[in-house]
Chain A
Amino acid sequence: AQSVSQHNHHVILSEAASLELGCNYSYGGTVNLFWYVQYPGQHLQLLLKYFSGDPLVKGIKGFEAEFIKSKFSFNLRKPSVQWSDTAEYFCAVNAPRNTGTASKLTFGTGTRLQVTL
């Protein structure tokens, strides 16, 4: 079974600070990796995704993530956070559809990011 770990539960940063949120997964085969963001009172939105190819993935709003297969990691980064980045961030993983599974998403527990002015 798949599992996803997000070790940072609550992160507080000042504006302009750099961000790195950790995500590690456990799965024995090929995976698709996602970061979703949930702003206060809003629904989940896709930040970025990795299916294959370049392990450094760029997403919306200046976020990027790097897939390191040897470490089973997919950490999220942003060089300079803004107050508007305050939100809950979820890492998720599923198996490719052609593996015959239902491609169910397994979510990490989430990281609450608070950016102060």
Chain B
Amino acid sequence: GAVVSQHPSRVICKSGTSVKIECRSLDFQATTMFWYRQFPKQSLMLMATSNEGSKATYEQGVEKDKFLINHASLTLSTLTVTSAHPEDSSFYICSARPALGAGEETQYFGPGTRLLVL
């Protein structure tokens, strides 16, 4: 159990275009999902916290207008990188935390999406 999927697994796009990444919890409901960015040989940096039915909470330094997050249901959150530029190239990882009442504090991670902006 506790499987999280991401789609696509990798994407190449031209500079200036927008890219949408989906994160799904496959076998549990998640009121909260998290979006991370991981640079090569570095740790995960939290970008934003996505709560179902409300606005996302962004970490300091993360542009909310550039990284649009929508958490439309208890099993789906999307991250849209708008007007992508080469410096946005990175590995984007989502995680999901089971809904309140499940007694579970653990985050389960998706396989990540590698974005390359040309």
Contacts and interface: CB of A to CB of B under 8 A. Distances in A.
B49 interface: yes
Contacts of A14: none
A51 B105 contact: yes
A96 B105 contact: yes
Contacts of B109: 36, 43-45
Contacts of B32: 102-103
B105 A97 contact: yes
Contacts of B97: 103
A109 B42 contact: yes
Given A43-B110, A105-B107, A90 B34 contact: no
Interface string A91-106: 0001011000011111
A102 B105 CA distance: 11
Interface in A4-43: 32, 34, 36, 42-43
B60 to A, nearest CB: 10
B43 A46 contact: no
Contacts of A104: 34, 46, 49
Nearest to A43: B111
A36 B97 CA distance: 15
B81 interface: no
Interface in A65-87: none
Contacts of A108: 43
Contacts of A43: 93, 109-112
A45 B109 CA distance: 7
Interface in B93-114: 93, 95, 97, 100, 105-112
